[in-house]
Amino acid sequence: MPYGCLLRLVERESGGVAGRVAIVGSPSGHAAGLCQVTPIALEEYNRLNPGAGIPLASMMGMDAASARIQLRVGSFLWMVGAHRWATMAPDRYQCAVLADLQYARGGGALRKLVEEAGAAGYPATLDGLRSFRPEWGSPERPFSHAEFVAGGIDDPGPGPIPAVEPSTTTLIGIGVIAGLGLLLLLIGWIR
């Protein structure tokens, strides 16, 4: 997952707080963690990664090891959407928007929207979906959540996030990521 998209996803989903549990639940239960993974999405992750066996408690953990797991699970699930919708998107940005729409609303809901748009004569593109159902996306901000996250597509970041054992270094790294997310949030408010 592109570094900039991951930072934006974490900012929008949890505000950079590891273990945060959503106040409002989905039909499958409350989302939790830095990337706000739902129980059914975690089941999908475990199904696609035999032997992983990530427990729901890891999504609610606030320690460094849990935070790394939360980032790994969230970014993996986001990339599943990117790979699934890559053929429908003419460029990386639109692919990222579709990946985030699937992440936020679920693959079944996005497939249903694509089928309904096609049946109504709209093209199977991001613009076609937006024209067909402009209110679709996150309930409070149609399409904007996905467009915000996708806006980080070309941010290379400092390089791969290293795998570090739980330590002060890890906690500082998580603090830096959370701080960057808050900085982006403040910049958005100032504009």
Each residue's pLDDT expressed in tens, for the chain with a length of 191 residues: 888 888 888 988 888 889 888 876 665 678 899 999 988 889 989 999 999 999 999 999 999 999 999 999 999 998 988 888 887 777 888 888 888 888 887 778 888 988 999 999 998 788 888 889 887 765 556 577 788 888 888 877 765 544 434 444 444 555 556 555 555 555 665 65
Pairwise CA distance, residues 92 & 14, whole Å = 25
Domains of the chain by residue range = 3-150
Query: Which CATH number fits the domain 3-150, given the four candidates 3.30.379.10, 1.10.530.10, 1.20.140.10, 1.10.3720.10?
Result: 1.10.530.10
CA angle 117, 100, 121 (to 5 degrees): 10
**134-148 as b/e: b if 16+ CB within 10 A:** eebbbeeeebebbbb
